């Protein structure tokens, strides 16, 4: 089982602070299946907050016989809308056995699900039943609807390729900060070089830093000195910026202290998981709309204004 992903789930279990949906991302299919099973066992275990592995509940999850656990495997047969609808109906009822009212579902290889099945699941996630935890697994986020991705807490099973790109960037002579950010948006050594040469790449890092430190100043600086004149450069800037923000929110949620010192400092100070999750959902929706939107400037402004409102609302609640 991959250590970082396991630690993230174990931390969630120890804090007893659950989301209604988690997205396992990667190609380590057996590790993802093992962790999903462990997570389900822990949520339904009759003896402990962390799966004991020996009680009747834990054993029946392994055997696929626990009445409060459902597992659909899209690798064997594409997950259909009918199955999602039946699942929603099943989980609309109270737990059969779990004393805490928990029910768990693992939708493996969700990338094979039909569009209608994904849309049906989206409706389910928008109005989740109390006590229900859904675990999805996909090879990459782009293989399912972006609106589905935005409703889930992501758990990454880091691919060797990203690690290799990070090392390649360092070998090319880039500093630690550039190597980190370039590995997030590049797919090859050639892309590492091309992205590094783009002025908008450096601007996206500046925008991220300003968002985390002084978000109230970002809109002014964006219009004065950061916004490119041509559309392609503008779209690249906003696409890169939104990706960087999403990554920062993921890491803050998972307490994953990776990246430049200023980003790690932000992650250490970030205490409001609800705010990070809401900002993550906000920028994932912005990414989904970016290439479909006629006015990317307006989309950017709306996203930043909504981020400010979230921040102010959270401050007032405190």
**72, two tokens:** 């659909």
Give per-residue pLDDT as tens, 190-238. Answer: 889 999 999 999 999 999 999 998 777 899 999 999 999 888 899 999 9
Domain 198-316, CATH: 1.20.272
Sole residue written with tokens 């093992």: 34
Per residue of the chain (318 residues), give pLDDT as tens.
445 688 788 888 888 878 899 999 888 888 899 999 999 999 999 998 999 989 999 999 999 999 999 999 998 889 999 999 999 999 888 889 898 989 999 999 999 999 999 999 999 898 888 899 999 999 888 889 888 888 888 888 865 567 788 999 999 999 999 999 999 888 788 889 999 999 999 999 999 999 998 777 899 999 999 999 888 899 999 999 999 999 999 888 878 888 999 999 999 998 777 788 888 888 888 887 776 667 899 999 999 998 888 877 766 665
Q: What is this structure's pTM?
A: 0.62
Domain 3-156, CATH: 3.40.50.300
List the domain boundaries for the chain. Answer: 3-156, 198-316
**40, two tokens:** 């389900």
What pLDDT does residue 292 have?
Answer: 65
**91, two tokens:** 């989980």
Count of CB atoms situated within 10 Å of the CB of 317: 9
The answer to whether the CB of 135 falls within 8 A of the CB of 70 is: no
What pLDDT does residue 210 have?
Answer: 93
Helix axis angle for 115-126 and 81-91, nearest 10°, is 20
**E strands within 95-178?**
103-108, 132-138, 153-156
Query: What separation, in Å, do the N-terminal and C-terminal C-alpha atoms of the chain show?
Result: 38
């Amino acid at each position: 089982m991959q250590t970082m992903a396991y630690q993230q789930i174990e931390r969630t279990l120890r804090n007893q602070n659950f989301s209604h949906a988690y997205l396992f991302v990667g190609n380590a299919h057996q590790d993802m299946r093992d962790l999903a099973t462990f997570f389900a066992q822990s949520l339904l275990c009759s003896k402990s907050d962390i799966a004991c592995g020996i009680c009747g509940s834990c054993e029946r999850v392994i055997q696929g016989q626990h009445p409060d656990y459902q597992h659909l495997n899209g690798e064997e047969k594409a997950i259909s809308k009918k199955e999602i609808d039946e699942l929603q109906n099943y989980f609309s009822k109270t737990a059969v056995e779990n004393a805490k009212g928990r029910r768990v579902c693992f939708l493996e290889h969700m990338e094979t699900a039909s569009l209608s099945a994904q849309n049906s699941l989206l409706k389910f996630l928008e109005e989740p039943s109390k006590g229900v935890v859904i675990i999805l697994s996909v090879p990459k986020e782009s293989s399912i609807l972006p609106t589905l991705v935005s409703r889930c807490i992501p758990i990454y099973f880091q691919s060797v390729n990203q690690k290799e790109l990070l090392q390649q960037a360092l070998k090319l002579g880039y500093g630690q900060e550039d190597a980190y950010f370039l590995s997030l948006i590049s797919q090859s050594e050639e892309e590492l070089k091309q992205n590094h040469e783009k002025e908008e790449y450096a601007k996206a890092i500046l925008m991220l830093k300003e968002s985390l430190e002084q978000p109230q100043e970002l809109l002014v600086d964006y219009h004065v000195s950061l916004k490119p004149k041509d559309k392609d450069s503008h779209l690249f800037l906003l696409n890169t910026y939104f990706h960087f923000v999403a990554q920062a929110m993921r890491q803050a949620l998972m307490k994953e202290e990776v990246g430049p010192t200023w980003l790690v400092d932000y992650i250490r100070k970030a205490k409001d998981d609800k705010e990070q999750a809401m900002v993550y959902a906000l920028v994932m929706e912005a990414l989904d709309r970016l290439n479909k939107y006629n006015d990317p400037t307006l989309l950017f402004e709306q996203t930043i204004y909504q981020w400010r409102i979230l921040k102010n609302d959270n401050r007032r609640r405190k």
